[in-house]
Amino acid sequence: MSQLRVVNAKGFQMEFDNGLTVSVMFGEGNYCQHRDAVGPSTVQLYGDKEQLRSFYRKPWESNLAEVAVWRRSDKKWAHLKTPWEGGEDYCPDPLGWVTAEDVAKIIAYVGHKDTYLTEGGYLGRKGEDVLNMDEGEE
Q: For the chain, which residues make up each domain, given as ranges?
A: 3-35+62-125
Collect all residues with Cβ–Cβ distance below 8 Å to 20 and sequence separation of at least 6.
69, 70, 71, 72, 78, 110, 111, 115, 116, 117
Residue 135 confidence class, pLDDT cut points 50, 70, 90: very low
* 132 pLDDT higher than 60: no
- pLDDT, residue 52, reads 65
Residue 133 confidence class, pLDDT cut points 50, 70, 90: very low
Higher pLDDT, 89 or 2: 2
Helix (H/G/I), strand (E/B), else coil: 70: strand
Collect all residues with Cβ–Cβ distance below 8 Å to 71 and sequence separation of at least 6.
19, 20, 21, 78, 117
Higher pLDDT, 37 or 137: 37
Which DSSP helix (H) or strand (E) runs through 125? strand 123-125
pLDDT in tens, 67-124: 999 999 999 999 887 554 555 556 657 888 899 998 999 999 999 999 999 988 888 8
Task: Give burial (CB, 10 Å; 0-12/13-18/19+) of 106.
Answer: buried
* 131 pLDDT higher than 60: no
Which DSSP helix (H) or strand (E) runs through 41? helix 40-46
- Please say whether the beta carbons of 43 and 52 come within 8 A: yes
* Torsion of the alpha carbons at 120, 5, 43 and 26, rounded to the nearest 10: 50
Q: Which residues pair with 71 in a beta bridge?
A: 20, 76
Task: Give burial (CB, 10 Å; 0-12/13-18/19+) of 10.
Answer: buried
pLDDT in tens, 6-50: 887 789 999 999 999 999 999 888 888 877 776 666 666 666 777
- How far is residue 36's CA from residue 30's CA, in Å, rounded to a whole number? 8
- pLDDT, residue 44, reads 62
* 134 pLDDT higher than 60: no
- pLDDT, residue 32, reads 84
